[in-house]
Amino acid sequence: MLVALLVIGVHSKGDLVEWELNLFQRANANKNAQCEGFEILEPPGHYAGYYTIDGTEDGHLSYMYFENRYKDPDAPLLFWTNGGPGCSSFFGLFMENGPYDIQEDLTLCWKEHGWDVGHDIVFVEQPIGVGFSYSSDIADKVLTDERVGHDILEFFYAFLEQHPELVEKDLYLSGESFGGHYLPVIAKAMIIANAHMGDPQLRLKGVFMIDPWTSPSSIYYSYPEYAYEEGLISRDTRDQMFSAWGYCDNALRLCDMKLPYIRTFSCNAAYAFCQSRLFTPVLFLHPFLNYYDIRRRDCYISGCYDISLLTRFMNNPDVKEALGVKEDIDWENCDDAIRRELGWDVATDVKSTVAAVLNQGVNVSIVNGDRDFICNYKGNERWTERMVWDKADEWASAERQTLKVAGNDAGYVRQVTPLSFVKVANAGHMIPMDQPVVGLELITTFTRGKDYPTAASKPLLVT
């Protein structure tokens, strides 16, 4: 089906090995009705590879890189990660914002609003153990956000050495969900590295976080209010949940004290308590609620979305061969072992890291679907209002403006450079999946350093 154009050899420590990925011909060959409407006269370069992480025994990160669809030499470089912790960025690639849609016969079609329209984009499966990333040595387990920051920093140095044409391009980090932990830490690692190292300098310009899990206390506080306003719980249930929030907040504060020897225990305990008192009561009343999109009541499987087609595609022998994957590695969207190992970190708060990134002049945008419950917009807007940073006073007085996309009201936006917050209407946890036009408009506006489109501004959608 798919052909790797380079035979994959043994990876040495710290090495990045990459080869051309012959996906375009497969998509172009599919002439069924679902694929009509796209003519790419000169196909962009598509690549796959493995980075053997420096400083590990056998840590390998799997990635795919796509040149922008229309070969614009000025297009910025975009990094994407999914969250979990422990979930694959290739979910985002094929289900949300990559170049392709998978068809039932496992062929591919161009995705109309893929983010490779206007961006060179790299999808990295991280941390070690996610998807096709792997290690044969238990010493390589990733147990902290800081380790994620180190590994992605090292990946970028190797990746830019492989692609020197990208060194001078502006770099933007993007992702969703637990990416709200990963992305600020990666950005901070890059900022510190730039200050203490010579070339290459990473031209980090912005961090784009979709429905992020960043400040657990604010998210847990929002659950009773959000659920009540959406008619999911009664006033009494709301009040009972609110009465538990103070205990939850205290437990989370203890977690964030970073006490030696007991931090993992205290964070796991805080997470368990907060979940049981402020999240589980809603699911008890609505056992099949899709907590990523409250419009749906069909959450019968783990993760709430049927990804059987994606799983079949990723584990197809031809696809694995094209991606240079060992035969004994099977792709799963989320890895339970990593979830357990990094699970304690879910209870930690990283808004102070976001503040540090903002104070260095790096743009940060939080973009939230209004139908998402688990990382809802109320909780995420709340922590922006409680964040201590250089422009906190200006942010407190920033007014909401109606977001306009393609002439339609699409939510609202608050923006005080370098921070912005967007609520996207009629979207759940995966905005590029639910509102692809809006998603592309927002990321394109952000990576061009512009304000988001409102009733008084002009749209910037790249077509």
pLDDT tens per residue across span 178-232: 999 999 999 999 999 999 987 789 999 999 999 999 999 999 999 999 999 999 9
pLDDT band for position 312 (cuts 50, 70, 90): very high
The pLDDT score that the predictor gives to residue 231 is: 97
What per-residue string of b and e applies to 163-194 under the rule 16 or more CB within 10 Å gives b? beebeebbbbbbbbbbbbbbbbbbbbbbbebe
Burial of 393 (0-12, 13-18, 19+ CB in 10 A): exposed
End-to-end distance of the chain based on CA atoms, in angstroms? 30
Residue pair 135/129 in contact by the 8 Å Cβ criterion: yes
Q: Is 222 a catalytic residue?
A: no
Q: Note the pLDDT tens digit of each residue in 320-339.
A: 999 999 989 999 999 999 99
Is the pLDDT score of 26 beyond 60? no
Q: Which domain holds residue 231?
A: 1-463
- The rounded percent of the chain whose pLDDT value lies above 70 is 91
Q: Give the start-end residues of each E strand in 196-347.
A: 204-212
Measured CA to CA, the distance from residue 220 to residue 230 in angstroms comes to 16
Q: Note the pLDDT tens digit of each residue in 418-435.
A: 999 999 999 999 999 999
Instruction: Write out the H or E segment, with its range, that includes residue 132.
Output: none
Is the pLDDT score of 35 beyond 90? no
CATH of the domain at 326: 3.40.50.1820
**Cα atoms in the Cβ-side hemisphere of radius 13 Å centred on 116:** 26
DSSP 184-230: HHHHHHHHHHHHH--SSPP-EEEEEEEEE---HHHHHHHHHHHHHHT
Closest to 451 measured CA to CA, from 363, 352, 333? 363
Instruction: Write out the H or E segment, with its range, that includes residue 429.
Output: none
Burial of 318 (0-12, 13-18, 19+ CB in 10 A): middle
Other Cβ atoms less than 10 A from the Cβ of 35: the count is 17
Measured CA to CA, the distance from residue 342 to residue 245 in angstroms comes to 23
Distances in Å between the Cα of 357 and the Cα atoms of 167, 195, 361, 364 are 21, 13, 7, 8
Query: Active-site residue among 88, 133, 135, 177?
Result: 177
Residue pair 349/388 in contact by the 8 Å Cβ criterion: no
Distances in Å between the Cα of 394 and the Cα atoms of 325, 367, 389, 437 are 50, 19, 10, 30
Tokens of 375: 């990382």
Distances in Å between the Cα of 50 and the Cα atoms of 141, 383, 438 are 17, 36, 32
Mean pLDDT of 406-414: 94
Q: Is 177 a catalytic residue?
A: yes
Mean predicted lDDT score pLDDT of the chain: 91
The pLDDT score that the predictor gives to residue 428 is: 98
The pLDDT score that the predictor gives to residue 456 is: 65
- The rounded percent of the chain whose pLDDT value lies above 90 is 77
Q: Note the pLDDT tens digit of each residue in 335-394.
A: 999 998 898 999 999 999 999 999 999 999 999 999 999 999 999 999 999 999 999 999
The pTM of this model reads: 0.93
Measured CA to CA, the distance from residue 356 to residue 360 in angstroms comes to 7
Report, in angstroms and rounded to the nearest whole number, the Rg of the chain calculated over CA atoms: 21
Q: Is 372 a catalytic residue?
A: yes
Query: Active-site residue among 151, 211, 349, 372?
Result: 372
State how many domains the chain has: 1
Query: Active-site residue among 150, 163, 181, 429?
Result: 429
Taking every pair of Cα atoms in the chain, the longest distance, rounded to a whole number of angstroms, is 63
The dihedral formed by the CA atoms of 274, 278, 281 and 282, expressed in degrees to the nearest 10: -130
Between residues 70 and 373, the one the model is more confident about: 373
